[in-house]
Chains A and B, each alone.
Chain A
Amino acid sequence: MLEIINLHARVGDKQILNGISLQVRVGEVHAIMGPNGSGKSTLAQVLAGHPAYEVTAGQATFQGRDLLDLEPEERARAGLFLAFQYPVEIPGVSNAYFLRAALNEIRKARGQEELDPIDFMDLAEEKLKLVEWGPDILSRAVNAGFSGGEKKRNEILQMAVLEPTLAILDETDSGLDIDALRIVAEGVNRLRRPDNATVVVTHYQRLLNYIVPDFVHVIAAGRIVRSGGRELALELEAKGYEWLTEAVPA
């Protein structure tokens, strides 16, 4: 589904990704871990097409298409979803309006009919259950005045509505208390299907107690320095990152 080969990227003059290669197949959950500043969030942003990052070398293919050649909105319409580490507030625009607008853009791209507000509300009410929320949240402005936990939950609600084929969760666990973490993780788990895939970017092992990965990759200095199964995350929890990152030249 996603194939990344030797990806290099920089922001301004600062080189951040130094040759990432990664393959994600349908049905899989990958965890990308690493210390602060290792480039793991940059990888997520580059895959979603953030304009601040410049890809200097390498390739990324998503369902057979050249991902790097697509605009961010084209990537979204093709089925890629990034749950933001810092979701943006959009005052005055209700969650319902925004979600329907996004869903209809994606449905149009898939050749499906747009949903009218009534059909949308039926669908949204189903999806709200996944994040254990009542309908009130739909009339609130997107993320405006939301707590950190509510913003992350809202990202998962968007993911539930948009049904991406590849979801990238960028530090979705940061700033969550244990209850919110459980709700968010359970939401993600219930959205898992044999025909989609999930990439979880995280600093901590904690989230992986809830969202169990098939593969764990450790990034340091913009490269994957170790890949393994779930046990690698537990090893990191016990030993920290130093034993893996010391060997990497800065």
Chain B
Amino acid sequence: MSRAILQDYQALHPQGAPQAGWLGRLRQRGLDRFQETGYPTSRDEDWRFVDLAPLTGAEFRVGGDSPAVRPEALAPYRYPGTECMLLVFVNGQFVPGLSDLGSVPAGVTVGSLASITARQTELLGHHLGRYAPIESSGFTALNTALIADGLLLHVARDVQVPRPIHALFVTAGDPAGLATHPRNLVVLEPGARASVIESYAGLSEGAYFTNAVTEAIVGDGAVLEYLKIQRESERAFHVGTTHMRHGRDSRGTSHSVSFGAALCRNNLDVVLDGPGVEAQMLGLYMGRDRQEVDNHTSLLHAHPNCSTREVYKGILDGRAHGVFNGKIYVTPIAQKTDAKQTNRALLLSDHARIDTKPQLEIFADDVKCTHGATVGALDQQASFYLKSRGVAGPLARKILTYAFAAEVLDEIPFPAVRESLEAVVMARLNARGE
């Protein structure tokens, strides 16, 4: 392991401070694990489709003081039409001056992990690191070793949070060589309801590295709407891992939207830890030039009577490379499982490519599991419809590609967020310059 990581680790524990307390022990375990395994390589089955060398071969350091960011610079990444409780993190650190929580309802604890640790140690100690095991990958081990800040949300039993909570992680200043390891924890107690938007944005172009881990616990009968929006610099590296654990009769939808980064890897790990869960996993990713976008999802049906729907769509242009690996595991007791997985990719150029791998492992007999994958060109019937209205060529391609993406974005329940992301899709299609 590089000296740099060790120094970053030591910086979290100023001289004389012992590696004590549950957080210290957690970090230490993360560090030990990372020292053992290091980063994954393409020899690891879970990482074989992408070349991690440009990321793992470079040296990234956790930053010092975060640079000043003007609120206007955040405008493109905020969604003013949807009133949110906003937490802004610049280069990994919470910036209260840019954040706006407004009034926090009773029963809701929300804030920056770093500022809350002292008061909420019991809560954090109980959950943090429990759902994102350090064994799951070197990246998670590294994130755990360097836990410093991120979103903490706790919603008490039966409390509904009226406004979405938006945690916006921006990288600014001169970001080359910078690493951030955001760590987020979302806990919905039984019957609680909340919406969380976790978004990443590059305010400056550069080869920096974001390595985020989110743990979300959706208690019995709770409802979580979760959006992850990745708009990093197209030279950056982004590894984002979300572990979601669902209690009995809970509901949850995860929307994952990726536009940025030279190399993006999204891991979504969903565990249905009780019967009667309804969960959806929706994804849209776009890649151009030489972008690599890798989506790995894993869904564990561990109890009966759960239904899940997964739809991932990709649009790849230039020499971009996409990966979709969707694992569904149904245990022997998970009878009456209804699991539907679809992944579709559009390749807009001859040089774009996709690796797609559905992985269904089903050990119960009374289940309904389907998966479908399509890769290719635009829908012929729709193309003909447009032509029959005089619309052909690049304009028709643009409209149909946009529609392909919009079908996923349409399911985002916040109009301002949806429209803003649709505008990004449209701008990217316009930028193709046909």
Asked if A109 is at the interface (CB within 8 A of a chain B CB), the reply is yes
Identify which of A51, A75, A82, A92 contacts B410 (C-beta below 8 A). A92
Instruction: Decide if A72 touches B410 in the complex (CB within 8 Å).
Output: no
> 1/0 per position for B402-427, CB-CB distance to A under 8 A?
11011101100000000000100000
Q: Kindly list chain A residues whose C-beta atoms are within 8 Å of the C-beta of B311.
A: none
Separation of A106 and B386 alpha carbons in the complex (Å): 12
Q: Kindly list chain B residues whose C-beta atoms are within 8 Å of the C-beta of A101.
A: 391, 395, 399
What is the predominant secondary structure among interface residues of chain B facing chain A?
Answer: helix
Separation of A98 and B386 alpha carbons in the complex (Å): 9
Instruction: Decide if A98 touches B399 in the complex (CB within 8 Å).
Output: yes
Instruction: Decide if B388 touches A105 in the complex (CB within 8 Å).
Output: no
Q: Kindly list chain A residues whose C-beta atoms are within 8 Å of the C-beta of B403.
A: 90-93, 141
Nearest-neighbour CB distance to chain B for A124, whole angstroms, equals 15
Separation of A105 and B393 alpha carbons in the complex (Å): 11
| Known contacts A93-B399, A98-B399, A102-B389, A51 near B384 by CB under 8 Å | yes
Nearest-neighbour CB distance to chain B for A169, whole angstroms, equals 13
Asked if A20 is at the interface (CB within 8 A of a chain B CB), the reply is no
Asked if A77 is at the interface (CB within 8 A of a chain B CB), the reply is yes
Nearest-neighbour CB distance to chain B for A72, whole angstroms, equals 4
Instruction: Decide if B395 touches A91 in the complex (CB within 8 Å).
Output: no
Within 8 A of B (CB), among A151-193: 158, 162
Number of B residues near A (Cβ < 8 Å) is: 25
- A interface, size bucket: 20 to 34
Q: Kindly list chain B residues whose C-beta atoms are within 8 Å of the C-beta of A48.
A: 384, 388
Nearest-neighbour CB distance to chain A for B403, whole angstroms, equals 5
Asked if A76 is at the interface (CB within 8 A of a chain B CB), the reply is yes
Nearest-neighbour CB distance to chain A for B47, whole angstroms, equals 33
Identify which of A50, A76, A92 contacts B407 (C-beta below 8 A). A92
Identify which of B380, B391, B409, B422 contacts A51 (C-beta below 8 A). B380
Q: Kindly list chain B residues whose C-beta atoms are within 8 Å of the C-beta of A77.
A: 390
Instruction: Decide if B389 touches A162 in the complex (CB within 8 Å).
Output: yes
Q: Kindly list chain B residues whose C-beta atoms are within 8 Å of the C-beta of A75.
A: 388
Within 8 A of B (CB), among A52-70: 52
Asked if B385 is at the interface (CB within 8 A of a chain A CB), the reply is yes
Asked if A87 is at the interface (CB within 8 A of a chain B CB), the reply is yes
Within 8 A of B (CB), among A74-103: 75-77, 81-82, 84, 87-88, 90-93, 98, 101-102
Instruction: Decide if A90 touches B399 in the complex (CB within 8 Å).
Output: yes
Separation of A162 and B386 alpha carbons in the complex (Å): 13
Separation of A76 and B393 alpha carbons in the complex (Å): 14
Asked if B387 is at the interface (CB within 8 A of a chain A CB), the reply is yes
Nearest-neighbour CB distance to chain A for B346, whole angstroms, equals 14
Q: Kindly list chain A residues whose C-beta atoms are within 8 Å of the C-beta of B407.
A: 91-92
Asked if B381 is at the interface (CB within 8 A of a chain A CB), the reply is yes
| Known contacts A50-B384, A72-B384, A101-B395, A92 near B390 by CB under 8 Å | no
Asked if A73 is at the interface (CB within 8 A of a chain B CB), the reply is yes
Q: Kindly list chain A residues whose C-beta atoms are within 8 Å of the C-beta of B385.
A: 84, 87-88, 90
Instruction: Decide if A93 touches B384 in the complex (CB within 8 Å).
Output: no
Within 8 A of B (CB), among A14-66: 48-52
Q: Kindly list chain A residues whose C-beta atoms are within 8 Å of the C-beta of B388.
A: 48-49, 72-73, 75-76, 81-82, 84
Identify which of B382, B384, B389, B422 contacts A158 (C-beta below 8 A). B389
Kindly name the residue among B389, B390, B410 whose own CB sees the greatest number of chain A CB atoms within 10 A. B390
Asked if A132 is at the interface (CB within 8 A of a chain B CB), the reply is no
Asked if B400 is at the interface (CB within 8 A of a chain A CB), the reply is yes
Q: Kindly list chain A residues whose C-beta atoms are within 8 Å of the C-beta of B399.
A: 90, 93, 98, 101
Q: Kindly list chain B residues whose C-beta atoms are within 8 Å of the C-beta of A87.
A: 385
Kindly name the residue among B382, B388, B405, B407 whose own CB sees the greatest number of chain A CB atoms within 10 A. B388
For B418, the closest partner residue in chain A by CB is: A92
Identify which of B381, B392, B406 contacts A88 (C-beta below 8 A). B381
Identify which of B382, B387, B395, B405 contacts A76 (C-beta below 8 A). B387
Instruction: Decide if B384 touches A105 in the complex (CB within 8 Å).
Output: no
Nearest-neighbour CB distance to chain B for A159, whole angstroms, equals 10
Nearest-neighbour CB distance to chain A for B122, whole angstroms, equals 46
Within 8 A of A (CB), among B329-361: none
Instruction: Decide if A71 touches B384 in the complex (CB within 8 Å).
Output: no
Nearest-neighbour CB distance to chain B for A73, whole angstroms, equals 4
Q: Kindly list chain B residues whose C-beta atoms are within 8 Å of the C-beta of A158.
A: 389
Q: Kindly list chain B residues whose C-beta atoms are within 8 Å of the C-beta of A51.
A: 380, 384
Q: Kindly list chain B residues whose C-beta atoms are within 8 Å of the C-beta of A88.
A: 379, 381-382, 385
Q: Kindly list chain B residues whose C-beta atoms are within 8 Å of the C-beta of A162.
A: 389-390
Q: Kindly list chain A residues whose C-beta atoms are within 8 Å of the C-beta of B406.
A: 91-93, 141
Separation of A105 and B396 alpha carbons in the complex (Å): 11
Separation of A103 and B382 alpha carbons in the complex (Å): 18
Instruction: Decide if A73 touches B392 in the complex (CB within 8 Å).
Output: yes
Separation of A63 and B380 alpha carbons in the complex (Å): 28
Identify which of A50, A76, A90, A102 contacts B400 (C-beta below 8 A). A90
Separation of A109 and B389 alpha carbons in the complex (Å): 12
Separation of A51 and B405 alpha carbons in the complex (Å): 25
Q: Kindly list chain B residues whose C-beta atoms are within 8 Å of the C-beta of A90.
A: 382, 385, 399-400, 403
Identify which of A72, A73, A92, A109 contacts B409 (C-beta below 8 A). A92
Q: Beyond the given A49-B388, A71-B387, could you list 17 further A-B residue pairs with CB under 8 A, ordered by the A residue number? A: A49-B384, A72-B388, A73-B386, A73-B388, A73-B392, A76-B387, A76-B389, A88-B385, A90-B399, A90-B400, A91-B403, A93-B406, A98-B389, A101-B399, A102-B386, A102-B390, A105-B389
User: Can you list the 8 inter-chain pairs with the closest CB atoms, starting with the nearest?
Assistant: A92-B406, A73-B392, A105-B390, A72-B387, A76-B390, A102-B389, A88-B385, A73-B387
Give the A-binding residues of B (Cβ under 8 A). 379-382, 384-393, 395, 399-400, 402-403, 405-407, 409-410, 422
Give the B-binding residues of A (Cβ under 8 A). 48-52, 71-73, 75-77, 81-82, 84, 87-88, 90-93, 98, 101-102, 105-106, 109, 141, 158, 162
Supply 18 A–B pairs (Cβ within 8 Å), ascending by A. Answer: A48-B384, A48-B388, A50-B384, A51-B380, A73-B387, A73-B390, A73-B391, A76-B387, A76-B388, A81-B388, A88-B385, A90-B399, A92-B405, A92-B422, A93-B399, A106-B390, A141-B406, A162-B389
